[in-house]
Amino acid sequence: MSTATTGSRAESAERDPKTPAAAPAGRRRVPWARLPGAALIWVFVAFCAFTFLFILLSSLKSSYNVLNHPFRLPTELKFSNWSKAWHDGGFGPAFVNSVVVVVVAAAGTVLLASPAAYVLGRNQNRVSGGVSMYFVLGLGIPMQIIVLPLYSIMAKMHLIDNLAGLIVLYIVVNLPFTVYLLMSFFASLPGELEEAAALDGVGPGMTFWRIMLPLARGGLMTALTLVAIACWNETFLALMFLQTNDNFTLPLALVNFLTQQQFTGEDFGVMFAGVSIAVLPMLALYAWLGRRITEGLTLGAGK
Amino acid sequence: MTSATVGVRRGRLQGSPLARRRRRVFGPFLAPALILYTVLFMVPTVYSFYASFTSWDGFSNPRWKGTLNYDHLRHDPAFKDAFFNTMKLLFGCGIFLFVLSFAFMLMLREMKGRKFIQGFIFLPHIVSGVALAAFWDFLLNHDGMLNKGLHSFGMGPVDWLKPQWQFNAILLAIVWINTGYYVTILMAGVDRIPPYYYEEAKLAGTNSWQRFRHITLPMSWDVVGTAAVLWTIGTVKIFEFILAFSGSQGNLPTTNQWTSAMYVYGETIGGTSPIYDFGRACAGAVVTLVAVVVVVVVLRRVTSRDRLEL
Amino acid sequence: MRTSKNVYRAGVIAAAVAVSAASLSACGSSSKPGTSSGGQASGSTSFTYWSMWQQNEPQAKVIKKAADDFTAATGIKVSIQWQGRDVITKLTPTLRTGSSADLVDQSVNALGALVAKDATADLSTLYSTPVSGESQTIGQIIPDSYKPFLNDKSGKPFIAPYEVSSEGLWFDASKFPDLAANPPKTWDDLLALFAKAKGMSMTPVAVPGDDKYWVLLTLQRELGTDGLKKLASDKTGAAWDDPKVLKAAQLVQDLRDKGDFLKGYESSKSIDEEGDWAKGQAAFYLSGTWVPSEAAPNATAGFKFDSIQLPALDSGNTDTGINFFGFAVPKTAKHSDAAEKFIAFFMKKEELSGISSQALNLTPRADIDPPAQLASMSKALTGTVYADQAHLSVDYADWTNKMLNPEMIRLVTGQDNAAKFVANGKQGTIDYWKSAS
């Protein structure tokens, strides 16, 4: 029997690197037959790491060196690139706006989505099935198609050109995905605790707030982080709904900064400094909460 | 969308006091999200659906014109490009992305430092499309990094972004951006397979290919299905990266780089001299969306049938 | 199975939503863009200006200074929002709900779509208003030859131009000192010039992979301006059968086949090619009046910007294309009076000359000297002018975007030869008119 296993490994090596033998129990050393696959992964990882290192390092180089010696480490550290980008791009106020929008929108989305996801995930009937589908439908509708009618509605509610309006929009556009993600989460929680609470006479609202919500903490953190990332990078709605420069968010500032760079003779060092300003906060957030994302997605998508 | 097993367990509770209490909060818990979503998402969507049967410039009142917009789409070269490119994204990019993600996921499970690696390949997903587009262009353009690198080996330069290849460069970038995300989701499904399945199978003398074919694949099929649906629906929305990467100085990308979302933008308000044909743009979006829904339904059929074979 | 049932249920909900959407459509009709006319406002103490520039661009600095001077002189506050080139895109949704902008600016071509939809105010009154502190009216300081391009279909002006632009073949006058005085008269002269550049070990031409100027301008020279329009408007596509179309396309193909274009141009964008040209890698670059100001930071030491026009071809037409950047007032503007006062203020010599001296661009005023880099261009514009790109991008925007531009790119980048370009153009035009709304 053991010979068969050995034979198969050689066989699978011939097939191609992706042919797997997933055995989570017996994790062993990478057999050399799988080296091509492992090498591919490491190349991929290296490329991702390189992207960020490159952007960050280039932001400290002169334009000439970025262009002509892209792979060299910076010889001098031009921190002036950063201050120039910061001033020319108007990143200061945009940064504050983005933080406000992202924090409130992410919290708001989760706050609205979790009770809905809870009742949808834990009630299995025709209505909840239909409503779930109704939310999922929203995943496939591009913003460009609804922006004009949406604008008319938002204008009637006086939500144009202010951060409150943008926050409302971000909550709305992130609802479908968040409800979808959290629904599976709540569905996967054990029912016993809920039953026990009901027997103890705890009201359904309290049961949700005190028992189910803390249990779904992992999912909530995942949702929070993913929504925060999506909002931080969102450009189109911000472009259409923010009109006063003082209200601009970071992605708008970045787009404007990049075009401005093109029209006034590009300095690549300064350009990458601008890109870094937009990217770094998300890198920090990811370093802090990144594991949550991967764990949470893992749980949420499993259902 | 939740799996059937949950439904069965829940069915048992249907008549219990708990279920009744839960039903009481059903309305209040759902209402805020549902109302907001309906008013600000679905109402505009339905309005746009209505607009697809009208002639509408976006600011004056729509005029009814029946299915004429849909008829015209058939002759619209830009729509053909956009539709074809969206399908290329959906299937071409999708198959490549899923094979790669699945392979990475399986290999990662056997590698040391798996969390660390997973963290790194997720990275592109957290960066804005605009920033990634700037990097991607800097990497691939004629004087770009890749050619500089090739040059130091005495090779190249290669015209990576020539018009015939440019959309492929976009496809490649989209695979790069999304791989980490889908590896993570797929990992979920496979991590849930109870280890004793594999142990028993090994005792029965199966080889690794057989275990993959008869355990890993069918048991993770469900999550592959979910991920495939997410991907399919998501392709309709891919926009920012393409606009930032292929457009320049306020101009839109040429129509052979358009995708569904870009078509809507280009046909309405995008570019330096906008076309303002909202009626046709909406019709285009409806057609694409219908195609995507068909794919989703087929995908769900296929993934659920295979699961039954288990 | 469950999916389809759910789809059905979602359909029921959607029907409910449809009812509310219907009410939205009723709401939408309450605000008609035509009803609130700009001219009625009076005595405004402030207005909002949405600018096509970014705040650090030279034009922005000139306008900002003028706005400060204006506020000091009149007490009217100017709220400037730098929106960038997407300004018209951003303006669109506001046209339905009442605009937040009282003043916008863009090129004639970019504003054209709005004008066609009757969304900009008639500036006739403004044109007969004197420029602040001067005796001449705005209409009088704008040369008469420009006027036809500043009017809408009913002959009313919709734009107050502050910057004039055109296209030319740019070069470094320190390398070709006599060229501006003796431009090539025929296409053969032009080819001889390119050969000379090769002799000086330079690639003759820098051209972006998505270039439109070479094909468009060669077609214009070959067919004349009206001929260009005919290509778009002839629904039978027969206009494409004119052998001159093939000839023009062949001229461009020959340049390409001879290797006159900078290596790797197929994948480059205009900003890259412009930079490479300014660094001396190529001798000539066909593009607009913005080139000197945009390319200057990348230019080699001693670079002297100058330009010539393309030589005449079979039609004998040597007109110069002209485009304008200028102010327009949305019809929905609430403070149009203040906006128009600002236009009259900005058009005075003292303020407007900044566009020439600081932003290195041409102004419509004959009494403002052009920057040295644009002297040749300015002279060309005193001759007969025609609407830039024959106004195709406005009058036939859809056809230009979907049909002409992609085909021109295929020709320039060598995916198609000249014959294929003509065949595709003909078929594409026929198809286009079949699908035109």
CA distance A146 to chain C (A): 11
From chain A, pick out residues whose CB is under 8 angstroms from the CB of C93: 147-148, 151-152, 240
pLDDT greater than 60 at residue A217 = yes
Decide which of B16 and A120 is more confident.
A120
Split at pLDDT 50, 70, 90, the class of A13 is very low
Please report, rounded to a whole number, the percentage of residues in chain B having pLDDT higher than 90: 41
Q: Which two tokens stand for residue A14?
A: 């011939």
Helix axes B278-308, B43-51, angle to 10 degrees: 120
What pLDDT score does C12 carry? Answer: 53
Phi/psi of residue C344, nearest 5 degrees: -60, -30
CB contact under 8 A, A266 and C100: no
- DSSP 8-state symbol, C144: G
Chain A residue with CA closest to C8: the answer is A130
CA distance A295 to chain C (A): 28
CB contact under 8 A, C95 and B58: yes
What pLDDT score does A18 carry? Answer: 39
DSSP states of A79-97: THHHHHHHHHTTHHHHHHH
Dist. CA C318–CA C382, nearest whole Å = 12
Q: Which whole number is the average pLDDT over C14-30?
A: 52
What pLDDT score does B8 carry? Answer: 40
Q: Which whole number is the average pLDDT over A151-166?
A: 92
Residue keyed to tokens 């490549």: B96
Question: Nearest-CA neighbor of C367 among C135, C124, C159, C106?
Answer: C135
B157 touching A (Cβ < 8 Å): no
pLDDT greater than 90 at residue C192 = yes
pLDDT greater than 60 at residue C82 = yes
A256 touching C (Cβ < 8 Å): yes
From chain B, pick out residues whose CB is under 8 angstroms from the CB of C276: 143
Split at pLDDT 50, 70, 90, the class of A8 is very low
pLDDT greater than 70 at residue C36 = no
Split at pLDDT 50, 70, 90, the class of A211 is confident
CB contact under 8 A, C96 and B250: no
**Which of C21, C112, C406 lies at the smallest CB-CB distance from B255?**
C406
What pLDDT score does C40 carry? Answer: 57
Q: Which whole number is the average pLDDT over C315-330?
A: 94
C22 touching A (Cβ < 8 Å): no
What pLDDT score does C98 carry? Answer: 76
CB contact under 8 A, B107 and A55: no
Among A213-222, A240-249, C35-44, C283-292, where is mean pLDDT lowest? C35-44
CB contact under 8 A, C264 and B159: yes
From chain C, pick out residues whose CB is under 8 angstroms from the CB of B59: 33, 92, 95-96, 117, 119
Tell me the CA end-to-end span of chain C in Å, nearest whole number. Answer: 40
Q: Which whole number is the average pLDDT over A242-263?
A: 91
pTM, two decimals, is: 0.87
Contact map slice: A 85-114 vs B, CB within 8 A = 112-113
CB contact under 8 A, C81 and A243: yes
| ipTM score above 0.90 | no
Contact assessment for residue A160 and residue A241, using Cβ atoms and an 8 Å cutoff: yes
What pLDDT score does C34 carry? Answer: 40
From chain A, pick out residues whose CB is under 8 angstroms from the CB of C84: 255-256, 259-260
B255, HSE (Cβ side, Cα atoms, 13 Å):
24
From chain C, pick out residues whose CB is under 8 angstroms from the CB of B76: 402, 435
Dist. CA B134–CA C213, nearest whole Å = 26
Q: Which whole number is the average pLDDT over C99-113?
A: 90
Give me the average pLDDT of each 10-residue run along chain B (310 residues).
40 60 84 96 95 90 93 90 94 94 88 83 90 92 88 87 90 94 84 83 86 84 83 89 85 89 91 88 92 88 56
CA distance C422 to chain B (A): 17
pLDDT greater than 70 at residue C330 = yes
Dist. CA B275–CA B264, nearest whole Å = 10
CB contact under 8 A, A119 and B264: no
Q: Which two tokens stand for residue B139?
A: 């990497």
- DSSP 8-state symbol, B160: T
Contact assessment for residue C101 and residue C91, using Cβ atoms and an 8 Å cutoff: yes
**C194 CA to centre of own chain:** 28
**Which of C32, C266, C270 lies at the smallest CB-CB distance from B248?**
C270
- CA B199-B204-B207 angle, 5° bins: 80
**Which of B23, B58, B119 lies at the smallest CB-CB distance from A294?**
B119
3-state SS assignment for residue C121? coil
Split at pLDDT 50, 70, 90, the class of C135 is very high
**Which of C10, C21, C24 lies at the smallest CB-CB distance from A134?**
C10
Kindly state the helix (H) or strand (E) to which residue B89 belongs, with its residue range: none
Split at pLDDT 50, 70, 90, the class of C22 is low
From chain B, pick out residues whose CB is under 8 angstroms from the CB of C84: 250
pLDDT in tens, C351-392: 999 999 999 999 999 999 999 999 999 999 999 999 988 888
From chain B, pick out residues whose CB is under 8 angstroms from the CB of C410: 163
pLDDT in tens, A56-91: 999 999 988 888 888 888 888 889 999 999 988 889
Q: Which chains does chain A touch, 3 or more C-beta pairs < 8 A?
A: B, C
- Name the amino acid, one letter, at C366: A
Q: Which two tokens stand for residue C368?
A: 């403002």
pLDDT in tens, A132-147: 889 988 888 888 889 9
CB contact under 8 A, C117 and B143: no
Contact map slice: B 190-219 vs A, CB within 8 A = 190-193, 195, 198-199, 202, 205, 207-212, 215-216
Task: Choose, out of C17, C51, C416, the residue to mutate when testing the contact with B (most B CBs < 10 Å).
Answer: C17
pLDDT greater than 70 at residue A33 = no
**Which of B119, B120, B190 lies at the smallest CB-CB distance from A22?**
B190
pLDDT greater than 60 at residue A229 = yes
A203 touching C (Cβ < 8 Å): no
pLDDT in tens, C229-254: 999 999 999 999 999 999 999 999 99
Q: Which whole number is the average pLDDT over C8-32?
A: 51
What pLDDT score does C200 carry? Answer: 93
From chain C, pick out residues whose CB is under 8 angstroms from the CB of B255: 401-402, 405-406
What pLDDT score does A189 carry? Answer: 78
pLDDT in tens, C157-190: 999 999 999 999 999 999 999 999 999 999 999 9
CA distance B273 to chain C (A): 4
What pLDDT score does C393 carry? Answer: 84
From chain A, pick out residues whose CB is under 8 angstroms from the CB of B6: 124, 187-188, 303
C54 touching A (Cβ < 8 Å): yes
pLDDT in tens, C49-75: 999 999 889 999 999 999 999 999 999
What pLDDT score does B79 carry? Answer: 94
Q: Which residues pair with C171 in a beta bridge?
A: C306
What pLDDT score does C309 carry? Answer: 96
What pLDDT score does A302 carry? Answer: 46
What pLDDT score does B213 carry? Answer: 85
Q: Which two tokens stand for residue A221?
A: 């953190």
A37 touching B (Cβ < 8 Å): yes
Q: Which two tokens stand for residue A245?
A: 């420069």
3-state SS assignment for residue C26? helix
Q: Which whole number is the average pLDDT over C278-297?
A: 93
Decide which of B113 and C94 is more confident.
C94
Q: Which whole number is the average pLDDT over A257-263?
A: 85
Average pLDDT, chain A: 83
